[in-house]
Structure 1
Amino acid sequence: MTEICINGAGPVGAALACRLAASGWRVLVVDRAGLAEAEDPSLDGRAYAIAEGARRMLEAAGVWQHLGAIPQPITEIRVADGRPGERPSALGLQFASDDRPSDDVPFGWMIEARDLRTALNAALRTQPLITVAAPDQARFSFGRDGVSVALNSGATHEVRLAIAAEGRRSPLREQAGIAVTRIPYHQCGLVAMIGHERPHDGTALEQFLPQGPFARLPMRGTDAHPNRSAIVWAESEIRARRYYDLPDAAFAAEIAERLRAEDTGAITMAGRRWIYPLSAQYAHSYIADRMALVGDSAHGIHPIAGQGLNLGFRDVIALARTLGEARGQDPGSRDCLMRYQRATRPGNLAMLAATDGLERLFGNDNPVLRLGRDLGMAAVNRLPRLRRAFARRAMGL
């Protein structure tokens, strides 16, 4: 008998299904799109920075082993304050090998969205305790003792717990009447892949610019582009659209203006670019009767720290742990769901507040604030224990 239904087979929903199945739960996964459709490289140009804690969860879920392309480790991180066309402030923050738990544990792993999706799909297909209904849609009827899941394809499943993993516009969350607070940033994120003349040596760069953060993230090279990086670049909506519409050479020149401090050499575009509106939001509750929210259904944050997907994977870790402790009991009980919410929501709200505060603090050109934040980063840089504590937190350890 199927015990749990996950509505949504995105990265968080699929990872949760694999992690729960690896622990012995029988799981039904429903998604309106077919699994193979999400493997199309034209669908999503993002690259994810997977924290070490999330990587360990994916390995335990049987997903990491299916990655055909070896992810790129992040071995060093540089954080700086700057302006386009200028060298960044010397009062920055650097996380190096001494800040990692050990030499063989990097700060994170860079992986293309398509590669992660392919690995998740392979794990879903090979796990015998998972039933996948995709493409399909379901109607959920909640009762005191269980949830009836009626698929459009005709089958009906009786489960004990429904999990909403459908994204920011979650239909299950709306069905449960859970309120959401949204925070608009009036910004768009530009995402692109570049090739560059000189190697990145596993170093990630984050610059806080007046119009928004700009990140260059190391990627595995290809035959066409041996030295390759992902660009995540936030700008005001109008400016972002203007940059998005530039020819490749002009777009690459704008990126080069923001990489003055890096010895990357000549920059070329290594594929198409994408543009996304940026906002944050949080659900007022992560649970309802026989329902739990995970990932973007529960929260969404500004990409300034690159923690959005990792936050969803932390939900997976917490819910899998909570349900593991409840093995032999009712996974949809109020007590079980309350334990999950207590384990996740406070930390997620703290991360949302931190990323929102960073965006507001660094997203301006006030000289007094610039000096204060530069001095603050320099102070943290001189405190190894604090620096390592920040690093471990970001790594999910």
Structure 2
Amino acid sequence: MDRADVIILGGGLVGLTTAIALDRHGLSSIVIDPADPELTLAPAHDGRATAVSSSSWRMLEAIGVGAKLEGEGCPIRSIRVSEGLEPGGIVFDPEEGDDALGTMFENRRLRQVLRETAAEAKNIQLLMPASAADVVRDGNGVRVALHDSRLVSAPLLIAAEGRNSPTREAAAIPMARWSYDHHAIVLTITHEYDHENVAYEIFYPSGPFAILPMLPGTRSAIVWSVSAADAAAIVDLPDRAIAAEIEKRMGGFLGKIQIAGRRWSYPLGFHHAATITGQRLALVGDAAHGIHPIAGQGLNLGFRDAAAIAQVLVEGARLGLDLGDAQLLSRYEQWRSLDTFMVAAATDGLTRIYGVPGRAASAIRRFGMGIVQRIGPLRAQLMAEARGETGDMPLLLRGLPI
């Protein structure tokens, strides 16, 4: 039976980041994932791109991943939010010398670098593809029997399996969950004019429309929220037709556009676990919470989970504690519960507010944006939230070792 300090079920972005953060501080992990790495790293697997917040980027640098991504991401220097193409709105511009509001990376490239880093780590054992046939969590520890008859054990199980986490379901953890009846259409475009490192969030009655700058300066990622009923038809439009629809929603401010690759469609929903811990169990990432991409915080919440659980476990190990100890897990629960709840509530609220149709609702939203634009401290607080730089930040998010 192979033993480690932690077993991580799920080898996606958050699961691998957690394993690498633990490895950098001397704790071992066994990462189990049913997906074939060759398939998950293929260009056709995932078309999404993520705005990695400045605090998440500091963590990636601190655990040795940032250096491998240096120069590949596109910094976001400004964010412009508007109600349709109406004048006004909110402009988020950092002060001179401040960090960028985020850095855009393709998810596939993030996954590739994390996979390579984990494969090189001396304290990480990757079992991919592999899946758990039976999981036992009790007072003696965690034991996982794999479908190929291998056995692994550890004091703690971390579930990083995503939105449909079977470990969370098996633990009977209550969930708040609903669908938004919308799909996010994701694709990449090239455009005539340089984006100048500006991200745009344009709110339409049918849903938000985001333009996210990528390298080089005439390439951007589109995240377009449409009704579930229309998603399939829009995805199947010819390139010229979908380019014309996108250009119309952009108001032409980036000039002529072209579609640069295939399209993906992802259903949108909300879920939030009532608790993120159980007996010798901790949930991280989408296993614990899933939110609307309206504010681009989904993966960053998962990175904050990884930073917090790593610090709790590393500090516990230094004190000689059992890593599955209920008091250690309680610290993780308390540390992350408020942040995840507040971000989840805020994104859900924004989704509902901007989904209200009618001119009166639109006028009220524009009025609210005008207030935010005029109140500098409020705007600065929102920028800090976007960077993940509020509250009691784990050391890794500050760029510091644990």
**3-state SS of paired residue (2:361):** helix
1:121-148 deviation digits (Å, cap 9, x = unpaired)? 1111111010111111123111202101
- Give the drift of 1:23: 1.5
Q: Which residue of 1 aligns with 2:58?
A: 56
Q: Which residue of 2 aligns with 1:288?
A: 278
Alpha-carbon contact 1:218-1:230 (below 8 Å) kept? yes
Q: Which residue of 2 aligns with 1:174?
A: 169
Alpha-carbon contact 1:212-1:234 (below 8 Å) kept? yes
- Using the alignment, how far apart are the partners of 1:283 and 1:191 within structure 2? 27
Q: Which residue of 2 aligns with 1:219?
A: 214
- Using the alignment, how far apart are the partners of 2:65 and 2:145 within structure 1? 28
- For residue 69 of structure 2, the aligned residue among 63, 67, 70 is 67
More moved, 68-77 vs 8-17: 68-77
- Using the alignment, how far apart are the partners of 1:104 and 1:394 within structure 2? 13
- Determine whether 1:303 maps to 2:303: no
- Give the drift of 1:345: 1.5
Q: How many residues align?
A: 384
- For residue 97 of structure 1, the aligned residue among 86, 94, 97 is 94
Instruction: Map 1:151-162; keep pairs closer than 5 Å.
Output: 151-162=146-157
Instruction: Map 1:36-51; keep pairs closer than 5 Å.
Output: 36-51=38-53
- Using the alignment, how far apart are the partners of 1:68 and 1:97 within structure 2? 21
- Give the drift of 1:36: 3.0
- For residue 103 of structure 2, the aligned residue among 109, 130, 133 is 109
Q: Which residue of 1 aligns with 2:362?
A: 370
- Give the drift of 1:67: 2.4
Q: Which residue of 1 aligns with 2:10?
A: 8
**3-state SS of paired residue (1:292):** strand
Q: Which residue of 2 aligns with 1:183?
A: 178
Alpha-carbon contact 2:7-2:153 (below 8 Å) kept? no
- Using the alignment, how far apart are the partners of 1:366 and 1:340 within structure 2? 43
Code of the residue aligned with 1:179 in structure 2: it is P
- Give the drift of 1:370: 1.4
Of all paired residues, the percent bearing the same amino acid is 42
Instruction: Map 1:135-150; keep pairs closer than 5 Å.
Output: 135-138=129-132, 139-150=134-145
Alpha-carbon contact 2:27-2:314 (below 8 Å) kept? no
- Give the drift of 1:263: 2.4
Code of the residue aligned with 1:118 in structure 2: it is Q
Q: Which residue of 1 aligns with 2:121?
A: 127
Q: Which residue of 1 aligns with 2:250?
A: 259
Superposition RMSD on alpha carbons, in Å? 1.4
- Using the alignment, how far apart are the partners of 1:391 and 1:97 within structure 2? 8
- Determine whether 1:32 maps to 2:30: no
- Give the drift of 1:269: 0.2
- Using the alignment, how far apart are the partners of 1:68 and 1:321 within structure 2? 25
TM-score (norm 1): 0.94
Alpha-carbon contact 1:67-1:118 (below 8 Å) kept? no
TM-score (norm 2): 0.93
Q: Which residue of 2 aligns with 1:322?
A: 312
Code of the residue aligned with 1:382 in structure 2: it is R
More moved, 133-142 vs 287-296: 133-142
Alpha-carbon contact 1:69-1:115 (below 8 Å) kept? no
- Give the drift of 1:61: 2.0
Alpha-carbon contact 1:64-1:119 (below 8 Å) kept? no
- Using the alignment, how far apart are the partners of 2:199 and 2:313 within structure 1? 36
Alpha-carbon contact 2:295-2:347 (below 8 Å) kept? yes
- Using the alignment, how far apart are the partners of 1:309 and 1:70 within structure 2? 18
- For residue 377 of structure 2, the aligned residue among 371, 375, 385 is 385
- Using the alignment, how far apart are the partners of 1:106 and 1:364 within structure 2? 32
